[in-house]
Amino acid sequence: MRQILLLILLFLVGQWFFKSLRNSQHSRPGADPRQGGSGAWRPGSGAAGGPFGTNGPGASAGSAAGKGALPEPMVRCAECGVHAPRSESVSVGVQSFCCAEHARAYDARKTGQDRPAR
């Protein structure tokens, strides 16, 4: 029973410690997030990538989302069905493809169907 109470106490002290640490990072001088101060805390900032490490929330998409950029639209490949970003896709007419090889294969199959049978 004493061990359980000790574990609960350690957990509560740890939570208090991390909460006070996080609050102290927010209250640094010049850390007004509305003004974009250099001391503002952001997820993924710092040498270790913030409190979540380098794989934490916002580590990969934080730079694009933080600047207010809209996500790039995805298009579906007419050949294989894979979704690719519009900037990386190949468009032929109204069809979109994930690569030039699939565009050629689709075109070859399509033109082969258009030919009259002998």
Least confident piece of the model among 5-9, 14-18, 65-69, 82-86 = 65-69
How many domains is the chain built from?
1
Q: Are 71 and 78 in contact (CB under 8 A)?
A: no
Tally Cβ neighbours within 10 Å of residue 104: 14
Domain that holds residue 79: 74-114
Predicted confidence (pLDDT) per residue in 28-56, tens digit: 555 555 544 444 445 554 444 444 445 54
106 inside domain: yes
79 inside domain: yes
Gap between the Cα atoms of 25 and 18, Å rounded: 11
- Higher-pLDDT residue of 75 and 111 is 75
| pLDDT score, position 7 | 93
Predicted confidence (pLDDT) per residue in 48-78, tens digit: 444 444 554 554 555 555 566 778 899 999 9
